[in-house]
């Protein structure tokens, strides 16, 4: 199938799916910015995955139908995804029929294109499947091909997408090149079906063209990138407001498309999506330039009643503070480095480093106060916990520096009214994390 490179959004994260109103705003953004394709694959729509065999109730179906209509009115291709992998029996004619019946319901609501997802499942075959298929890839390919045959007859020109069970380099045993799963899939899956790939990792810092060329040889088709760069469902203490980055322009010529699976908090995806659209359309993509443009475009959403005013510098500070999974924003990087300098230098020598460090902290405190005045309350609520945690830390750090300046005795400690014994941030999980801290290289060493 020869289709032009496309970019869009995959609502494919764990947790609360976006609301109808949010998806409506999403389609507006997509139309305005030239993102053509939306995948409806929310892991926790009960009937997408856990209970995939169930059809939607009349009320749910009406909601889905209006969503499909809304996408169409915005010129966005709607792809309905279903994840049968948890308990499907690939060889069962009944399951094939159940899937068709479910798809019938979506077709009746105006849907045309589909995705079958086999990610995040235990790769095991039932006894009946083992008797019929030589491998998991063979079972999934057969099941998916059956569906594709049926779909093409029902809807000429319908597209089908497939998410493999190993969907990134790290998951391939022993390597992408030697993965029998990918080789079997490439040979057996109908060549008209597109295949997702998240890069070398589930959350890939970079995705090289060479790695995609190697993958495409096995798959016998270029993949569609399911990009988890801005996904935050796996770490609820983080949000990602930085620009799309780490993917070269040449990636567009070796893939079918890129769709991003971004922050669970819909409102926080303005910069991620605006910059992805930039990447999709630019001849030469510059994350820094796209970032600046996205900040400028997002700032009007930060309206507040007078006298508070939030400008582009404030929005940049916000996006800098909650940036990307592998990268801290440039201002925050300097701030962190300044703190390290202060901790490793006697107070008498702090000089302008302290001034700069405190100025950044004060800017963050001011930002918190300004944002609480946002008219767009949903935007504030999405940010709130993260801002709160940051400004509380600023207060503690400033206090800690004050204390260091008093030349405390070696066994003295700094106390704060907000930090009672046993209450330091994060509860049980954070306590456990402090007992086995991650090293710089990502390993967990022996207890010290």
Which residues are part of the catalytic machinery?
120
Contacts made by residues 426-432, CB under 8 angstroms, sequence distance 24+: 426/237
Smallest separation, CB 234 to ligand GDL (Å): 4
Verify binding: residue 207, ligand GDL, rule CB under 6 A.
no
The footprint of ligand GDL on residues 23-82 (CB under 6 A) is 43
Verify binding: residue 14, ligand GDL, rule CB under 6 A.
yes
**H/E run at residue 116:** strand 113-117
Cβ nearer to ligand GDL, comparing 235 with 369: 235
Cβ nearer to ligand GDL, comparing 296 with 429: 429
Smallest separation, CB 270 to ligand GDL (Å): 19
The footprint of ligand GDL on residues 375-414 (CB under 6 A) is none
Cβ nearer to ligand GDL, comparing 91 with 255: 255
Cβ nearer to ligand GDL, comparing 261 with 332: 261
Verify binding: residue 338, ligand GDL, rule CB under 6 A.
no
Smallest separation, CB 261 to ligand GDL (Å): 5
Angle (nearest 5°) at CA 42 between 38 and 45: 130
Verify binding: residue 6, ligand GDL, rule CB under 6 A.
no
What are residue 385's phi and psi, to 5 degrees?
Answer: -60, -35
Smallest separation, CB 59 to ligand GDL (Å): 26
Smallest separation, CB 197 to ligand GDL (Å): 9
Verify binding: residue 205, ligand GDL, rule CB under 6 A.
no
Angle (nearest 5°) at CA 294 between 289 and 390: 105
Verify binding: residue 167, ligand GDL, rule CB under 6 A.
yes
Verify binding: residue 202, ligand GDL, rule CB under 6 A.
yes
- Omega before 122 cis (within 30°)? no
The footprint of ligand GDL on residues 253-282 (CB under 6 A) is 261
Cβ nearer to ligand GDL, comparing 120 with 392: 120
What are residue 284's phi and psi, to 5 degrees?
Answer: -125, 110
Classify 77 as helix, strand or coil.
strand
What are residue 320's phi and psi, to 5 degrees?
Answer: -70, -35
Residues 6+ apart with CB under 8 A from 208: 200, 248
User: Cα–Cα distance between 393 and 47 in angstroms, integer?
Assistant: 41
Contact call for residues 246 and 272 (beta carbons, < 8 A): no
- Which x/- pattern over 208-247 shows residues binding ligand GDL (rule: CB under 6 A)? ------------------x-x--x-xx-------------
Verify binding: residue 12, ligand GDL, rule CB under 6 A.
yes
Smallest separation, CB 12 to ligand GDL (Å): 5
Residues 6+ apart with CB under 8 A from 113: 77, 78, 79, 80, 158, 159, 160, 161
DSSP string, 333-350: HHHHHHHHHHHTS-GGG-
Verify binding: residue 298, ligand GDL, rule CB under 6 A.
no
User: Cα–Cα distance between 335 and 297 in angstroms, integer?
Assistant: 26
Smallest separation, CB 227 to ligand GDL (Å): 9
Cβ nearer to ligand GDL, comparing 233 with 312: 233
Cβ nearer to ligand GDL, comparing 202 with 289: 202
Closest CA to 124 of 112, 113, 132, 136: 136
DSSP string, 13-62: -SSSPPPHHHHHHHHHHHHHHT--EEEE--TTSTTTTTTTTSPPPHHHHH
Q: Point out which residues bind ligand GDL (CB under 6 A).
A: 12-14, 43, 119-120, 163, 167, 198, 202, 226, 228, 231, 233-234, 261
């Amino acid at each position: 199938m020869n289709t032009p490179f496309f970019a869009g959004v995959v609502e494919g994260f764990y947790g609360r799916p976006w609301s109808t109103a949010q998806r409506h705003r999403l389609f507006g953004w997509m139309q305005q910015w030239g993102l053509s394709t939306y995948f409806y694959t929310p892991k926790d729509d009960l009937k997408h995955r856990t209970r995939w065999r169930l059809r939607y109730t009349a009320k749910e179906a009406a909601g889905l139908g209006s969503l499909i209509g809304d996408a169409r009115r915005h010129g966005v291709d709607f792809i309905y995804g279903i994840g049968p992998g948890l308990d499907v029996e690939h060889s069962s004619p009944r399951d094939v029929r159940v899937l068709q019946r479910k798809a019938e319901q979506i077709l009746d609501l105006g849907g045309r294109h589909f995705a079958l997802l086999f990610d995040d499942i235990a790769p095991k075959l039932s006894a009946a499947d083992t008797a019929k298929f030589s491998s998991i890839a063979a079972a999934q390919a057969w099941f998916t091909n059956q569906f594709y045959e049926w779909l093409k007859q029902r809807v000429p020109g319908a597209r089908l997408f497939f998410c493999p069970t190993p969907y990134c380099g790290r998951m391939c045993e022993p390597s992408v090149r030697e993965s029998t799963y990918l080789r079997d899939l490439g040979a057996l899956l109908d060549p008209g079906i597109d295949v997702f790939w998240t890069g070398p990792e589930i959350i890939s810092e970079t995705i090289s063209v060479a790695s995609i060329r190697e993958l495409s040889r096995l798959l016998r088709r270029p993949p569609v990138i399911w990009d988890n760069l801005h996904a935050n469902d796996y770490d609820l203490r983080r949000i990602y407001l930085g620009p799309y980055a780490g993917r070269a322009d040449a990636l567009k010529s070796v893939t079918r498309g890129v769709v991003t699976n971004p922050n669970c908090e819909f409102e926080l995806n303005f910069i991620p999506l605006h910059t992805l659209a930039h990447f999709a359309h630019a001849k030469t993509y510059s994350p820094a330039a796209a970032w600046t443009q996205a900040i400028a475009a997002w700032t009007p959403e930060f309206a507040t009643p007078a006298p508070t005013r939030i400008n582009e510098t404030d929005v940049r500070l916000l996006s800098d503070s909650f940036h990307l999974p592998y990268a801290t924003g440039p201002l925050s990087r300097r701030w962190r480095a300044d703190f390290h300098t202060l901790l490793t230098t006697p107070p008498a020598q702090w000089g302008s480093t302290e001034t700069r460090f405190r100025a950044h902290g004060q800017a963050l405190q001011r930002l918190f106060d300004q944002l609480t005045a946002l008219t767009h309350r949903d935007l504030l609520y999405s940010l709130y916990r993260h801002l709160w945690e940051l400004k509380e830390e600023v207060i503690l750090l400033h206090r800690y520096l004050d204390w260091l300046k008093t030349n405390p005795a070696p066994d003295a400690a700094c106390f704060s009214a907000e930090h009672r014994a046993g209450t330091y941030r994060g509860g049980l999980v954070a306590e456990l994390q402090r007992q086995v801290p991650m090293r710089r290289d990502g390993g967990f060493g022996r207890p010290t």
